[in-house]
């Protein structure tokens, strides 16, 4: 009966009650959507590792079938894209089979991914198709691909033919998913920061939404208590509205997550330049159930906690006391965190000390200390803002705002804390990426344009005869991965300078790094784990060098894409184990990490600023409904509607601007103490402009409450109250 009566009270509350429930449901839906998106981070990484499992197949992979098979995996390239080519031959009736196909292709058959089939149809055969000899007998399903656009082909060959191919090995099984990522560091840093930066603010946002119009409801429930309702009945009446809105918001947020999942998957590439499968963007069942149950419980708990004063004193005769103003000790966690970042940076400069200390957890603690300090010190900043506004105010509206902020700086900062934290995180990430870009070695391509480097990996001179030309340069490989090549010849087709480094100390120079990248296998950024080779030293050829196997051929061409791809195809047909690369395949090696950070920066900013915008909006609407009668009285006493709106603007805008600037300042200091002064990089004007636009967008969204000012402050509101 209590439940039914509570539903009747909600439905009979008129338009105001329905609007309040709709706002709560929409706000909770946004919060649930953001939490579910945040919880997909680790499953996406783990699923990516699982999808890559069969690419790691080698002779040591556990047996997965009764019969063995021959296996040769090659990472090839076409027009700047990775092309995975796997040569297989069954050694029995039941060989191991990679995921995505039902059987191994037989001799003369090829299985290709859908994207590779489309590319083959649009490309001349001598530039790509001939690398996969045989008839296309089927396609590889999604289970065998890391992304829908992955280029993969599995070539079937006769056992006797593949046995004679350089690099082929016998396997007894396909590497299976199950290699768990090392989540100790990942959970400590990624999930910790995820909780602090995303899930934490969203939880606060959900709690804020459930208190929308809380003061007016408290008065109504106090009247119920005076009319004879018990505490349990009052609690049921209060929880029906918020829990009902929370359940609707949870279902709406879940539906929204399913709707935006394909769109979000299109922006996630995991460093491969290819969007992932939308199905990989999932929330584990246990976490999904926890969110779907916890949000309504959080909403109900927030309502019951806020209802406690009404339960205890229904006559509302409690003495209202002003909270103690915040003190400067709230700045201490920020100072401790910055000091920790500085100390960790110094420790990292000492390899022996860095090895003894657990710098990962210490870095997390320092970062969390700064975040906590920002939350704590925000109210202290708002208090001083109010004092400054009171001293400098030249109008009644600014003085009202100053007094309002001074009366409760804690609530003032809670309304803008999401934006301040978002700006801090975005600024810190941007400065970190800029620092990495500046300090990375400028290891640009050492190959001259038009030169194709074909890594034949120990082939004989007879087997590479079809690739040789009069101006080709040959590099051989000796014991202990020593590359033997005439530096003068190598300089003719590359930009390296002589002499080449003959010991490990020479790798630290630009020339050493470029020379290393010339022979490194696989080259930076490949999609498959196959044959790996790295030079350990270089040597000039001598009389005995002619007996050494060939490692790499440097073959000049006319520089056109078609000619280079024909040469790649010829190399793949002549020596299936060969890998070819051009100057376009040798970007700056260390730029890969920073490009991932740069790519992640815009979504992170949009993600967290969306939370900030929603928090600001709910705070503005809640502040308006809570002070409906005071605003109506001010308007009745002669204060113009524009001045009332200006009060709301100043209450949100001034603390927002000050705390955002504080977040930028703290991020700049944190970035400064984490590098040497000579490596300090100022944020670019474009980034600062982007931050400004993001903050203004979040603030503009919160202005949705301004049109409600006219309705909330009409004279009939005073009579109603």
| Full residue range of the structural domain in which residue 637 is found | 373-440+590-721
Q: At 588, give phi and psi (nearest 5°).
A: -60, 125
Same domain, 472 and 431: no
Looking at the structure of the chain, the number of domains it has is 4
Same domain, 495 and 579: yes
Residue 415 lies in a domain: yes
| Token pair listed for 32 | 């649930």
| Token pair listed for 75 | 């990472």
Average pLDDT value for the chain: 77
Residue 346 lies in a domain: no
Same domain, 305 and 188: yes
Domain termination residue (choose one: 171, 200, 233): 171
Same domain, 300 and 426: no
Top pLDDT among 604 and 56 is at 56
Interatomic CA distance for residues 596 and 573, integer angstroms: 35
387 by Cβ neighbours in 10 Å (0-12 / 13-18 / 19+) ranks as middle
Interatomic CA distance for residues 108 and 129, integer angstroms: 13
Compute the 3-state secondary structure of the chain and give helix, strand, coil in percent, each to the nearest 5. Answer: 60, 10, 30
| Token pair listed for 228 | 């004879």
Domain termination residue (choose one: 136, 171, 206): 171
Domain termination residue (choose one: 317, 341, 360): 317
Residue 75 lies in a domain: yes
Same domain, 275 and 195: yes
- Where is average pLDDT lowest: 286-295, 382-391, 570-579, 677-686? 677-686
Q: At 325, give phi and psi (nearest 5°).
A: -65, 145
Same domain, 484 and 432: no
User: Which DSSP state fits 190?
Assistant: I
Classify 482 as helix, strand or coil.
Answer: strand
| Torsion angle (degrees, nearest 10) of CA 456, 457, 458, 459 | -20
Whether the per-residue pLDDT at 204 is higher than 60: the answer is no
Average pLDDT over residues 39-62: 85
Q: b/e per residue, 42-56, with b = 16+ CB within 10 A? A: bebbbbbbbbbbbbb
pTM of the model: 0.70
Same domain, 552 and 615: no
With a pLDDT cut of 90, the percent of the chain lying above it is: 19
Interatomic CA distance for residues 76 and 63, integer angstroms: 27
Average pLDDT over residues 459-471: 82
Same domain, 165 and 190: no
Whether the per-residue pLDDT at 433 is higher than 50: the answer is yes
Q: What are the distances in angstroms from CA 252 to CA 28, 399, 466?
A: 9, 42, 64
Q: Are strands 550-556 and 451-459 parallel, antiparallel or unpaired?
A: antiparallel
Q: b/e per residue, 214-240, with b = 16+ CB within 10 A? A: bebbbeebbebbeeebeeebbbbbbbb
Q: What are the distances in angstroms from CA 190 to CA 41, 102, 183?
A: 9, 38, 9
Residue 403 lies in a domain: yes
Same domain, 712 and 598: yes
Same domain, 196 and 255: yes
pLDDT digits (tens, 9 = 90+) for 570-616: 999 999 888 888 888 765 344 333 444 444 555 555 666 666 676 67
Residue 624 lies in a domain: yes
User: Considering all CA atoms of the chain, what is the largest pairwise distance in Å, rounded to the nearest integer?
Assistant: 108
**pLDDT value of residue 588:** 39
Top pLDDT among 384 and 364 is at 384
Same domain, 552 and 604: no
In this prediction, residue 184 has a pLDDT band, given cuts at 50, 70 and 90, of: very low
Residue 364 lies in a domain: no
Residue 97 lies in a domain: yes
Residue 352 lies in a domain: no
Same domain, 5 and 111: no
């Amino acid at each position: 009966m209590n439940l039914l009566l509570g539903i009747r009270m909600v439905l009979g509350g008129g338009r105001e009650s329905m609007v309040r429930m709709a706002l709560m449901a929409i706000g909770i839906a946004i919060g649930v959507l953001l939490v579910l998106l945040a919880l997909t981070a680790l499953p996406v990484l783990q699923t990516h590792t699982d999808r890559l499992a069969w690419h790691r197949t080698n002779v040591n992979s556990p047996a997965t079938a009764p019969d063995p098979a021959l296996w040769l995996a090659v990472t090839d390239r076409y027009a700047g894209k990775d092309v995975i080519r796997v040569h297989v031959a069954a050694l029995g009736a039941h060989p191991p089979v990679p995921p995505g196909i039902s059987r191994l292709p037989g001799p003369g058959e090829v299985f290709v991914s859908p994207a590779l089939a489309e590319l083959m149809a649009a490309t001349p055969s001598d530039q790509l198709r001939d690398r996969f000899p045989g008839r296309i007998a089927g396609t590889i399903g999604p289970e065998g691909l890391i992304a829908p656009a992955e280029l993969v082909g599995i070539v079937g060959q006769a056992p006797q033919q593949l046995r004679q191919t350089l690099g082929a090995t016998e396997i007894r099984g396909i590497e299976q998913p199950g290699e768990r990522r090392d989540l100790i560091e990942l959970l400590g840093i990624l999930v910790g920061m995820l909780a602090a930066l995303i899930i934490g603010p969203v939880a606060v946002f959900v709690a804020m939404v459930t208190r929308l119009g809380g003061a007016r409801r408290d008065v109504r429930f106090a009247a119920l208590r005076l009319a004879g309702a018990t505490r349990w009945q009052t609690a049921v009446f209060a929880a029906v509205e918020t829990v009902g809105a929370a359940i609707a918001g949870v279902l709406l947020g879940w539906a929204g997550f399913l709707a935006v999942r394909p769109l979000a998957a299109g922006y996630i590439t995991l460093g491969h330049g290819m969007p992932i499968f939308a199905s990989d963007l999932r929330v584990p069942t246990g976490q999904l159930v926890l969110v779907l149950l916890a949000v309504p419980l959080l909403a109900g708990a927030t309502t019951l906690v806020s209802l406690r004063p009404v339960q205890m004193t229904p006559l509302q005769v409690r003495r209202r006391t002003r909270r103690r103003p915040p003190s400067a000790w709230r700045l201490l966690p920020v100072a401790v965190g910055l000091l920790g970042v500085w100390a960790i940076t110094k420790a990292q400069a000492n390899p022996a000390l860095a090895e003894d200390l657990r710098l990962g957890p210490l870095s997390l603690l320092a970062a969390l200390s700064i975040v906590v300090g920002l939350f704590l010190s925000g109210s202290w900043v708002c208090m001083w803002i109010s004092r400054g506004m009171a001293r400098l105010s030249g109008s009644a509206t600014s003085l009202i705002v100053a007094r309002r902020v001074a009366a409760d700086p804690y609530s003032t900062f809670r309304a803008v804390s999401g934006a301040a934290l978002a700006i801090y995180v975005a600024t810190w990430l941007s400065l970190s990426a800029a620092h990495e870009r500046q300090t990375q070695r400028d290891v640009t391509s050492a190959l001259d344009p038009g030169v194709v480097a074909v890594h034949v990996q120990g082939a004989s001179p007879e087997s590479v005869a079809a690739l040789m030309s009069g101006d080709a340069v040959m590099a051989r490989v000796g014991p202990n991965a020593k590359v033997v090549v005439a530096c003068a010849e190598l300089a003719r087709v590359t930009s390296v300078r002589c002499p080449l480094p003959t010991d490990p100390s020479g790798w630290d120079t630009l020339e050493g790094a470029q020379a290393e990248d010339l022979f490194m296998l696989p080259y930076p950024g490949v999609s498959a784990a196959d044959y790996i080779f790295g030079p350990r030293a270089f040597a000039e050829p001598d009389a005995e060098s002619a007996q050494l196997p060939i490692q790499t051929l440097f073959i000049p061409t006319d520089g056109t894409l078609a000619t280079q791809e024909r040469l790649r195809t010829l190399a793949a047909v002549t020596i299936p184990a060969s890998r070819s690369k051009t100057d376009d395949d040798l970007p700056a090696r260390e730029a890969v990490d920073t490009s991932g950070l740069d790519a992640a920066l815009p979504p992170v900013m949009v993600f967290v600023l969306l939370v900030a915008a929603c928090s600001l909006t709910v705070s503005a609407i809640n502040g308006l409904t809570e002070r409906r009668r005071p605003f109506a009285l001010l308007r009745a006493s002669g204060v113009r509607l524009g001045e009332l709106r200006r009060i709301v603007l100043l209450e949100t805008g001034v603390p927002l601007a000050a705390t955002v600037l504080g977040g930028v300042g703290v991020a700049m200091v944190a970035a400064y103490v984490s590098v040497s002064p000579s490596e300090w990089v100022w944020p670019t004007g474009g980034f600062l402009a982007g931050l400004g636009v993001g903050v203004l967008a979040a603030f503009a969204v919160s202005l949705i409450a301004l049109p409600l000012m006219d309705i909330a402050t009409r004279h009939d509101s005073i009579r109603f109250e």
